[in-house]
Structure 1
Amino acid sequence: MKRRQVLHALGGSAVALGVTPWARAQAFPSRPINLMIAFPAGGPTDITMRVLAENASKILGQPVVIENRSGAGGTLPAQALQTAKPDGYTLAQIPLGVFRLPYTTKINWDPVKDISYILCVTGYAFGVVVPADSPFKEWKDFVAYAKANPGKLSYGSTGALTSPHLTMEEIAQKLGIQLNHIPYRGSAPLMQDLLGGQLMAGADSTGFAPHVEAGKLRLLNTWGAKRLARFPNTPTLMELGLGIVQASPYGIGGPKGMDPGLIKAVHDAFKQAMEMPNHVEVLAKYDQELLYMNSAQYTRFAEETFAKEKALVEKLGLAKPT
């Protein structure tokens, strides 16, 4: 889709939906678009989202500039949307942690109602890794040590209340063990400390894969519905009897109140961008696959996930005091 087709889609959808002449009058985009992501430079999310942004830039005819806003469990981009204009020039990655925020922190906005959900892009492939010289040769060794040494087994995640953190806490609850959680701002600093011997284990997406393949880390389990093709000998949490599958889907959202025609134009451009071969290839590097949802489907996913995360946070005893 060329830029004129994007403009045509924007204007045409505005006519069809009976919205104000704004959509037809605007030459969108006429300047760079800012896309905030929730994790630091150098990690899997940053690398894959930069390819996506570059593809979208070519389609839209304006730069899509990545801004890394890491910390706060991956929720800073979504929070920043609350003060942004709904003009399409400020977009954000929406990680699953956004849907947990009201249950753990006092906020004055609603993760479902106060974000325009544009499209879902992909999800992560997670697992637990340990240094290659770790005495934990298998998952059962990890569990045995944790049971014998309550609170002494340190593991890092990509942030407090992120999917890796909450999934590990759910695992610990199911197994009756206590772990020492160390939060990081993203995969890159987590891997640095794990490789440096400052942690006993790490729960992360497959940014760890190159280190496992290089013999520097050992993979104890993965969290998908089936084994990863790259690591066929590593069991899933389901196979280990834990009954957990976690992929943590994420996509792109904008500020509340975006014009429906504008949402469609952004959606169409990023859908084409995400399906380009170079983006599919870089996702595969981190064992990720396309997980497309259109704007209506992604909005419905947000509503359903918001309710599910409330139940999980309360089960783990992590809900904020009332």
Structure 2
Amino acid sequence: MFGTTKLRYFIAAAGAALTFSGTAAMAYPDGPVNYIIPFNAGGESDITARYQQPYFKELTGQDLIVQYLPGAGGAQAWSGLNNHNGDGMTIMGTNLPHIILQPMLQDPGYQTDDISNVYMFHFTPDALLVRKDSPFETVQDVIDAATQNPGSVIAGGTGTNSANHVANQVFMNETGAMTTYIPYSGTGATESGLLGGEVDVLWGYTTVAARQADAVRMLAVATEERHPLFPDVPTFGELGINMVGGAYRGIAVPASTPEETKQELSDLIGQINADPEFRKRMEDDGYALIDVPYQEIEGFMDDRKAAYQAVSEQLQSQN
């Protein structure tokens, strides 16, 4: 349902050789930059920010200071983004589908168009995970249990109206299974929930499977082709389930930020994404890097809005 058109934003291996304007000519930044993560520590947004930090320092000579402002599935931070000074010294992580679905389904205190994204830098494919000792050996085992006893299978995921919540809904649409979805405050919390036995299955990402390799099993992944880190794990498509999707992450700034600063920040994040060492580290952790610079953000967001529109009506009926 999602992502059936191949993303034109994916960069081939040669993309690492892309070049941008030299950092010596950049006026931005002229001091430490505060990087607000709208979730708790330990999730993909946090891990990515930590990976970006040393490259940011190397390119600019300035520190990238990671701060956390969790709450309401990210809405607490996003609703206050435009209250920050638009001098480029405060930036914020953004996530899809969150910043599209939240305003579609409720009043989170902001609208999607209030968020000034300057770069989208990676995508984490959805994956259905269980503990290593789970009785569920296959996706069909999960479907059978959730069909025979509707609601008996407890599925964890990050928040409501998130990529994981969307994945759970699409899974039910496609299979006729009925799970009970439990939202957690972030990816780190979902991992603890799965490993601690609070949920039977987890809608996580390939990154979770990479981190928890000895403790979990991935039953299927929502990509068009098998993930290179997990060649033995089938795609949902191979199982006859039309599911391709996940979470997209990027960086935004207050709306009052000058266009020149937005472009400079976009170029800077692009340089980090293009670094071969950075790319390898991210890909080894299960991330799929994408490059959507500032000048392409509008088209990218329009595409994603269209993709989420249909399932938003179903999620609305649950709220």
How many pairs align? 298
Q: Which residue of 1 aligns with 2:99?
A: 98
Is the deviation greater in 158-167 or in 41-50?
Answer: 41-50
Distance 2:109 2:42 in 1: 32
CA shift for structure 1 position 85: 2.0
Answer whether contact 1:42 1:188 (CA < 8 A) is retained.
Answer: yes
Distance 1:121 1:135, change over 3 A: same
* Aligned 1:121-136 pairs, distance under 5 A: 121-136=121-136
* Maintained 8 Å contact 2:156/2:182: yes
Counterpart position of 2:13: none
Cα-to-partner distance string for 1:168-199 (whole Å, 9 max, x where unaligned): 11211222222111111112121112112221
Q: CA deviation at 1:150?
A: 0.7
Aligned residue type for 2:174: K
- Check whether the contact 1:158–1:185 (CA below 8 A) recurs between aligned residues: yes
State the partner residue of 1:196.
196
- 2:259 is the counterpart of 1:260: yes
What does 1:28-67 align with in structure 2 at a 5 Å threshold?
Answer: 28-67=28-67
Going from structure 1 to structure 2, the CA distance change for 1:282 and 1:186 (only over 3 Å counts) comes to farther
Pair 1:294 & 2:289 matched: no
Q: Which residue of 1 aligns with 2:228?
A: 229
Contact 1:104/1:320, CA 8 A, preserved across alignment: no
* Identity across the alignment (%): 25
Sort the Cα spacing of 1:189 and 1:317 in 2 relative to 1 into closer, same or farther, 3 A: closer
Aligned to 1:115: 115
User: Could you list the runs of 5+ residues in structure 2 that have no partner in the other structure?
Assistant: 1-20
Whole-angstrom CA distance in 2 between matches of 1:164 and 1:71: 17
1:69-84 pair list within 5 angstroms:
69-84=69-84
Aligned to 1:85: 85
The CA distance in 2 between the partners of 1:122 and 1:177, in whole Å, is 30
Residue identity matched to 1:286: D
SS of the aligned residue for 2:203 comes to strand
Alignment of 1:206-285 (within 5 A): 206-210=206-210, 213-214=213-214, 216-285=215-284
Distance 2:211 2:260 in 1: 44
Equivalent-residue separation in structure 1 for 2:188 and 2:47 (angstroms): 11
* CA-CA distance at 1:319 after TM superposition: 5.7
Which region of structure 1 is more displaced relative to structure 2, 116-125 or 51-60? Answer: 51-60
Structure 1 residue 208: Cα displacement: 2.6
Residue 14 (structure 2) aligns with: none
Q: 1:309 to 1:261 in 2, by over 3 A?
A: same
**Displacement of 1:117:** 2.1
CA RMSD of aligned residues (A): 2.1
- 1: CA distance between counterparts of 2:40 and 2:111? 25
TM-score if structure 1 supplies the norm length? 0.85
Stretch deviating more after TM superposition (88-97 or 70-79): 70-79
Q: Give 3-state SS (helix, strand or coil) of 1:42's partner.
A: coil
The change in CA–CA distance for 1:119 and 1:243 in structure 2 (over 3 A counts) is same
Alignment partners' CA distance in 2, 1:242 and 1:74 = 30
> Which has the larger Rg?
1
How far, CA to CA, are the matches of 1:194 and 1:155 in structure 2? 9
Which range is displaced more, 150-159 or 37-46? 37-46
Correspondence 1:4 to 2:24: yes
Q: TM-score, normalised by structure 2?
A: 0.86
